[in-house]
Amino acid sequence: MTEIVSEPQEHNAQAAVEQLEAQNVAQAVQQGTAVSNLNQEPRQRSRRGGRGRSGGNAGKPAQAEQAQAAPRPLNPLLEQLAQWHPALFGEQLLPFKRGIFEDLLAAHPELDKEALKSALQQHTRSGRYLAAMASGQARHDLSGQPVEATLPEHVHHALIEVFRRRQQRTAEDLTPKLRNRIVIAYEASGLSREDYAERVLGKNEATNALVADALAEADARAAKDEALLRSFTLSGQTSEQDFAEMYGMNPRQVAQQLERARRRSASQA
């Protein structure tokens, strides 16, 4: 898992920004925050009078919550970047390629390096950008063209943070939905179970347990898909619709299972 590191000196600015995005999407995991624990009620403050540990702030939690919930003003430089590069920073955000910091400086040499780093830091911490990362989309250049795949561990860390934030806004337990998204991300990665686990497992035991459950679920589903593909092949049927009706199964679900099994078989060939 990507470790949080201190900011390098000026001559190493490019390396700092290239690591910045991974640091931000992994932040909740590094701090040990598990999505499965986010629906627990916060510990109540003591109702005893006096200042005590509250420092005289008793009766002000609502103000603190409002202040924390207030949206952060958009960095003016991000507004400028959206005008210059709408395909990347516009209404629909896209994961950007590694080295985007140097690309932006080359395209706009008048930009201040520190201001640009600060803007990109705010950008990569935004919920919209994290959602784009969690979708598993490719990384894009300044013109909005896909140029490289997003690493599975970056997709995973973004998923954890996206669901962590969503869990804070609802009483519904989002763990099952997150587990399903991890299954999808794992299958899309094309990695073996061992390789995927090595990339995404970290210090948080609750999150690691969730990943283990997702991988077990994915393996069980893969076994069912492969068994169904063998049955379809041996049945002599050429129509998936007829095959599904013959066994009283949902045609759409059968088609999805067969497609997953074929993709998996092709990737292992």
Model confidence pLDDT, tens digit, residues 122-137: 999 999 999 999 999 9
The answer to whether residues 165 and 211 belong to one domain is no
Q: Please tell me the total count of domains within the chain.
A: 2
CB atoms < 10 A from the CB of 119, how many?
A: 22
Is 101 found in the same domain as 16? yes
**Whole-number Å distance between alpha carbons of 185 and 199:** 12
What rounded mean pLDDT belongs to the chain?
A: 79
Asked whether residue 93 falls in the same domain as residue 154, the answer is: yes
Nearest one of 101, 129, 103 to 115, comparing CA atoms: 101
Q: At 113, which CATH number?
A: 1.10.1710.10
Say if residue 34 is in the same domain as residue 128.
yes
**Is the model more confident about 182 or about 47?**
182
Q: Are residues 199 and 156 in the same domain?
A: no
190, containing H or E segment: none
Strand partners for 140 = 96, 146
pLDDT at 262: 86
Question: In terms of domains, do 154 and 260 share one?
Answer: no
Position 43 in a domain: no
Q: Domain of 214?
A: 189-268
Q: Is the pTM of this model over 0.85?
A: no
The pLDDT of residue 72 is: 57
Per-residue pLDDT, averaged over 7-23, amounts to: 43
Instruction: Tell me which of 199 and 55 has the higher pLDDT.
Output: 199
Lowest-confidence range among 21-25, 163-167, 261-265?
A: 21-25
Does residue 53 register a pLDDT over 80?
no
Q: What is the mean pLDDT of residues 17-43?
A: 44
Nearest to 153 by CA among 14, 43, 22: 22
Residues 232 and 165 in one domain: no
6 and 139 in one domain?
A: yes
205-230: pLDDT as tens digits: 999 999 999 999 999 988 888 898 89
- DSSP 8-state code for residue 52: G
